Amino acid sequence: DAGITQSPRHKVTETGTPVTLRCHQTENHRYMYWYRQDPGHGLRLIHYSYGVKDTDKGEVSDGYSVSRSKTEDFLLTLESATSSQTSVYFCAISERLYEQYFGPGTRLTVT
């Protein structure tokens, strides 16, 4: 398995609180991605990174920010969590011309 971990794996938080999810890789891959997965919508891209400090928005980026200060870490922050952000969040990594590998996922519940 590709060396990708996500933390925490499960989190319950209250509306309005900030939340940070961490993705850590040991593969030295250039590209890192954050997706959310919801019933009926499949995987939707939130943000992605194509290098240290280089990030771009995906199709559902509103309410989320990211940071990548090191090759191995990609952080996803919900500045003020809302119930609509209850979801399963997957991190993925890839190198150019190769497939993506996914982390184990984080189940986030916003009450």
Of 56, 69, 70, 109, the one binding other proteins (CB under 8 A) is 56
Shortest Å, Cβ 15 to other proteins: 27
* Distances 79 to 15, 67, 102 between C-alpha atoms, Å: 11, 13, 24
Q: Does 89 bind other proteins (CB under 8 A)?
A: no
Q: Does 33 bind other proteins (CB under 8 A)?
A: yes
Q: Which two tokens stand for residue 72?
A: 């191995």
Closest Cα to residue 49, out of 64, 61, 34, 37?
A: 34
Of 12, 16, 28, 50, the one binding other proteins (CB under 8 A) is 50
Q: Does 101 bind other proteins (CB under 8 A)?
A: yes
Q: Which two tokens stand for residue 39?
A: 């019933």
Of 13, 22, 58, 61, the one binding other proteins (CB under 8 A) is 58
Q: Which two tokens stand for residue 99?
A: 């497939």
Residue 71, H or E segment: none
Q: Does 71 bind other proteins (CB under 8 A)?
A: no
Would the CA dihedral through 12, 13, 14, 19 be positive or negative?
Answer: negative
- Which one, 11 or 30, has the nearer CB to other proteins? 30
The binding site for other proteins (CB under 8 A) comprises 31, 33, 35, 40-45, 48, 50, 56, 58, 90, 92, 94, 96-105
